[in-house]
Amino acid sequence: MRRNGPLALIFHTIFVIVMVAPILVVCLVAFTPEGFLSLPTNGFSLRWFRTIANYPEFIHAFWVSLGLGALSSLVALLFAVPAALAIARYRFRGRDALAALFLSPLMIPHVVLGIAFLRFFTSAGLGGSFAALIIAHVIIVFPFALRLTLAAATGMDRTVEMAAVSLGAGGWTLFRRVTLPLILPGVISGWALAFIQSFDDLTMTVFLAAPGTETLPVRMFLYIQDNIDPLVTSVSACVIAITMTALILLDRFYGLDRVLAGKGDTGR
Amino acid sequence: MSAAAEERSARAPWALTAPALMLFVGVLLIPLAMTVMLSFHDWGQYKGIEPVFILKNWHEIATDPYYAEMFWRTFRIAILTTLLTALLGAPEAYILNRMSGRWKSFFLLVILGPLLISVVARTLGWALLFGGNNGLVNKLLMSLGAIRSPLPFMFTETGMVIALAHVMMPFMVLSVWAALQRLDPQIENAAMSLGAGPATIIRRIVMPQIMPGVLSGAIIVFSLSASAFATPAIIGGRRLKVAATLAYDEFLNTLNWPLGAAVATLLLVALVLIVVGSNALIERRYAEVFR
């Protein structure tokens, strides 16, 4: 009964091929030995990966993306962890409204956020600065950081905390020695998912980045606008490899299904 | 609980959420309000932005057919993308769900993994596959005999819909998958033991139960497609504009910020109304499923 028929399996095979094809073709073209876009039919070459070294703007953009992702996810957690604890533990007036506000960046189109932040930071005299990028990224990754922390805080065993309190722990000690270690898997996964979101964002960042603060997706996008050549495929292949590594770590550490389930219902 | 402790527990949630709340009011709500205000300001080639209150931009959007056509294109692409993801994603989720443990988690990873891979890289892949008249897609279709002459995919709405559907597909599969997890397999067995064939089971048992999943997936896909930027910009090029790429052009090329802000505000309001409205409809229609 619970078996797929041959038609279903053919459908499934085509579906998977189509899903993988664009990603695979980027990675394959990146290894071409030719000077133009082509599949590597005459052997593989690392030529275009070496060429990246001649484009310091890509390397700089990579470091900007890495720093931006790491920092903004960390800052987002500093705000999200206390908020998640409050939402998980207390029933108070305005709780649902607050939760909706904190998740709202998922519903607002990133192009609108980009415009709003561009207007805001330009009037504040921070246009194009790294600080502006950090603040903007904190807002867009906040829902992801909040959600995974919230899931950990909701599922936490409160009796351990009560035991600690009965033994005289309180305030900061209670949080640092008992609560935080218990929710840490959720917090770290929240950080990782937030990092990936920040690392991949183009739509909002393209409004805010200036030469010098361009992130890797922005740099790639601006490059593709002018011409598509094997260089941008090798850069993309590197980005794909980095994301895959993060994915595998996330899967080992927390279970990818739980992470993706958190990402899935963005519209609600 | 003593009165003091009670008061402390009433204040605690606010103390814990205050930093995040201040952050959101300060750098989310205020910038959004500023954008709405910006859409009422005047702009001129030489004078720049003038902070007055006029309806010039809104009037331009309402009367110039260029904007009506652009918004219609945006929503047409979003609707077609949503239909394509629903028609292909829902059956795929169902097939996945019937696979055995290890294959199931492997293919789930293969299909959902792209969700976290850069949209620029994924769209670049489609640009390579479409690429000109001798792109791989055209070569394949011609060798299969499906078409005689190469079809244009780059810089067309067809190409945009295909690439967008690929980008959005994981959201649909995930949403239907979540609905399938709530489905009791014994019901299918019961239907079969009562003599229902596979087609009847799908139509009468499975479809009604996964419909909420398909619909909530459709809302996600629709709202993300209608505001998509990277894929329309790369596949559509400079001429085939949608709302997000038009707003980008007004802001960073023409520098007519008030007009760009009006386009963005309209997109935001339209999407919020559509999403909130259809969520309410679905929840009323399928109240029993969400309970």
Q: For residue B6, what pLDDT is reported?
A: 58
Which of A11, A19, A207 is nearest residue B169 as measured by Cβ atoms? A19
Task: Give the Cα-Cα-Cα angle A223, A226, A232 (nearest 5 degrees).
Answer: 35
Q: What ipTM was assigned to the predicted interfaces of this complex? A: 0.89
Question: Domain limits of chain A?
Answer: 55-264
Q: For residue B283, what pLDDT is reported?
A: 82
Class of domain A55-264: mainly alpha
Q: Which residue of A has its CA nearest to B135?
A: A38
CB-CB under 8 Å, B35 with A119: yes
Q: For residue A261, what pLDDT is reported?
A: 59
Average pLDDT over residues A154-167: 87
CA distance A106 to chain B (A): 10
CA distance A253 to chain B (A): 15
CA distance B63 to chain A (A): 23
Chain B residues close to A206, C-beta within 8 Å: 229, 248, 252
Q: For residue A1, what pLDDT is reported?
A: 43
Domain for residue B55, yes or no?
no
Chain B residues close to A224, C-beta within 8 Å: 120, 124, 127, 234
The pLDDT of residue A92 is above 60: yes
pLDDT over 70, % of chain A: 94
Which three-class secondary structure string do you get for chain B? CCHHHHHHHHHHHHHHHHHHHHHHHHHHHHHHHHHHHHCCCEEECCCEEECCCCCHHHHHHHHCHHHHHHHHHHHHHHHHHHHHHHHHHHHHHHHHHCCCHHHHHHHHHHHHHHHHCCHHHHHHHHHHHHCCCCCHHHHHHHHCCCCCCCCCCCCCHHHHHHHHHHHHHHHHHHHHHHHHHCCCHHHHHHHHHCCCCHHHHHHHHHHHHHHHHHHHHHHHHHHHHHCCCHHHHHHHCCCCCCHHHHHHHHHHHHCCHHHHHHHHHHHHHHHHHHHHHHHHHHHHHCHHHHC
> What's the rounded Cα separation, in Å, for the pair A148 and A180?
14
Please list the pLDDT of chain B residue by residue as tens digits (291 residues): 455 555 666 788 899 999 999 999 999 999 999 999 999 999 888 888 888 899 999 999 999 999 999 999 999 999 999 999 999 999 999 999 989 888 888 898 889 888 888 999 999 999 999 986 668 888 888 888 888 888 888 899 999 999 999 999 999 999 999 889 888 888 888 888 898 888 888 888 888 888 989 999 999 999 999 999 999 999 998 889 999 999 999 999 889 999 999 999 999 999 999 998 998 888 888 766 554
Q: For residue A264, what pLDDT is reported?
A: 44
Give the residue, A4 or B241, on which the prediction is more confident. B241
Q: Which residue of A has its CA nearest to B238?
A: A225
Per-residue model confidence as pLDDT tens digits over A57-86: 999 999 999 999 999 999 999 999 999 999
CATH number at residue B130: 1.10.3720.10
Domain for residue B177, yes or no?
yes
Domain for residue B13, yes or no?
no
Q: How far apart are the first and last CA of chain B?
A: 34
Chain B residues close to A118, C-beta within 8 Å: 251
Which of B27, B244, B267 is nearest residue A120 as measured by Cβ atoms? B27
Parent domain of B228: 71-290
The number of domains in chain B is 1
Domain for residue B281, yes or no?
yes
Angle, to 10 degrees, between the axis of helix A130-154 and the axis of helix B3-24? Answer: 140
Q: For residue A259, what pLDDT is reported?
A: 66
Across chain A, mean pLDDT equals 89
Domain for residue B75, yes or no?
yes
Domain for residue B6, yes or no?
no
Which of A243, A261, A267 is nearest residue B117 as measured by Cβ atoms? A243
Chain A residues close to B228, C-beta within 8 Å: 203
Per-residue model confidence as pLDDT tens digits over A225-248: 888 889 999 999 999 998 888 777
Q: For residue B289, what pLDDT is reported?
A: 55
pLDDT-derived band at A55 (thresholds 50, 70, 90) equals very high
pLDDT over 90, % of chain A: 57
Domain for residue B39, yes or no?
no
CA distance A28 to chain B (A): 10
Cβ within 8 Å of A, B 209-268: 216, 219-220, 223-224, 226-230, 233-234, 243-244, 247-248, 251-252, 257, 260-261, 264-265, 267-268
> What's the rounded Cα separation, in Å, for the pair B40 and B43?
10
Burial label for B164, CB within 10 Å (0-12, 13-18, 19+), is: buried
Q: For residue B273, what pLDDT is reported?
A: 93
Q: For residue A262, what pLDDT is reported?
A: 53
Q: For residue B166, what pLDDT is reported?
A: 97
Domain for residue B270, yes or no?
yes
CA distance A150 to chain B (A): 13
